[in-house]
Amino acid sequence: MRILFVCTGNSFRSPVAEGLTRKYKPEWEVESAGVRPAGRIARNAQKFLEREGCVQYLKSSPDPVTARSISEADKVVVMENEHVKYLLENFQIRRDKIENWTVEDPINPEVDPTDAFEKIKRKVKSL
């Protein structure tokens, strides 16, 4: 199974999902990317993955979504409706290849990063 996780900045949600999936599903090929990549990976992403014992899977810097990463994936997991819209408008991808996990962005001060992490962890374990 090849999975591409997509979020806005590829700094917290999708790299966390990638790291956790690499831990829990080591036989899978996993990547993550952002629709508007941030300048760096969020510090709390590293903190949460350290706590989970899989910080070694954290990427060093955010990456953009590419046509190649989309075409090579069996499934593309996004974190919000805007990501679905972005992918459908900018890439040749079937809607049934996209799964939306609806995880709010912890860059928003009203969103608890711990809640976002735990939701992603539950979703990864249920893959």
pLDDT band at 16 (very low <50, low <70, confident <90, very high): very high
Name the domain count of the chain: 1
Average pLDDT, rounded, for the chain? 97
Task: Tell me the average pLDDT across 31-43.
Answer: 97
Tokens representing residue 96 in the block: 């049934």
Give the bridge partners for 3, in sequence order.
30, 75
What would the pLDDT profile of 43-90 be if each residue is shown by its tens digit? 999 999 999 999 999 999 999 999 999 999 999 999 999 999 999 999
Rg (CA), the chain: 13
On whether the CB atoms of residues 102 and 80 are closer than 8 A, the answer is yes
Q: Return the CATH number at 60.
A: 3.40.50.2300
pTM of the model: 0.96
- Residue 93's domain comprises 2-125
